[in-house]
Every structure is written in structure tokens, then in C-alpha cells.
Structure 1
Amino acid sequence: MEKLRLLLNGMPTAEQRDFATRCGTSVGYLRKAISSGQKIAESTCINIERESCGAVRVEDLRTDVDWAVIRNSSAQAAAA
């Protein structure tokens, strides 16, 4: 969550809003999740990784999810 906090803090307010919108959420939701340690939905984590160009990875946001399995199954599906 620290990487997400640093990313948001480095953006002007309007850019924060645009980023959150592209991630399918709001700045308020992201700030609340950061401050309370709330679990961000997996789909939102994926959006955050994509929209941050990998600066904030899903593994940084949800350590309780086995992202390696998801990444491997996605790569295998693409190869098929």
C-alpha cells in the first residue's frame, strides 16, 4: 500500500482523480483503503498495476492472493 500512497501523493489532484477513474474507483476509496489497511478488490489491483505502468504491482497491494498462479494461468491461456 505504501507504493500506492507514494504514487498518489506524487500526483496533482486532477491526475489522482483521472487515475482512480481509469482504475474503476475513486480517490476516496483508494485513500481509505491505504489508511485503514482495507483489502482492495483483485480486479481493482489489476487496474492499478496497469494504470501505474507497473509502478504499483498487485503483489504490493494484496499479499494474500497467489498472483503467481493467476499470472501463470493467464500466460498459459494466451499461449493456447
Structure 2
Amino acid sequence: MTLHDYIKALDKSALDTFAERCLTSAGQLRQVAYGNRRASVGLAVCIERETQGVVTCEQLRPDIDWAYLRGSKGA
């Protein structure tokens, strides 16, 4: 699932709570979801954690070798 799909399903209160748990704002999450901004590494990790893996770091930041960082297959 994309971040856009994930946050689209949330009402305003739930989105604000989700943003708070991700240590950011709802506006910043929307910017990332719509592709206007790139998630920082820290934000990508928070989003994956707070969505219980529904939205992954790999989806948010495909430019990073997450497999290497996770200790699994890597280049």
C-alpha cells in the first residue's frame, strides 16, 4: 500500500494522531504522499513502524539500499 492510500483512509483526527506518532505534521505527510517532498530516512522508518509495515521504507525511499541496512540480501 502506498502512503497516499494509507493516509487517504484516515479521518482528520486519525491523520493528526498518525503524524504525531511519526514526529511530523499531517501537511508533511501529505507532501510526501503526493510526491512533492521526499521522506527523510528517519521519517521513512517512522512511517513503516507506525503502519506496522503496511507502508515500507523501500516504497518511500527506493534510492536507499534497505536490504543492506536490514542485514538481508544486499549488493
In which range does the TM-score fall when normalised by the shorter chain? Answer: 0.7 to 0.9
Aligned residue number for residue 12 of structure 1: 11
- Structure 1 runs (4+) deviating above 4 angstroms are none
Report how many residues are paired: 72
Aligned residue number for residue 54 of structure 1: 53
Identity in percent: 35
User: CA shift at 1:36, angstroms?
Assistant: 3.7
RMSD (CA atoms): 1.5
User: CA shift at 1:38, angstroms?
Assistant: 1.9
Provide the TM-score with structure 2 as the length reference.
Answer: 0.87
Aligned residue number for residue 39 of structure 1: 38
More helix, by proportion:
1
Provide the TM-score with structure 1 as the length reference.
Answer: 0.82
Unaligned runs of 5+ in 2: none
Amino acid aligned to 1:71? R
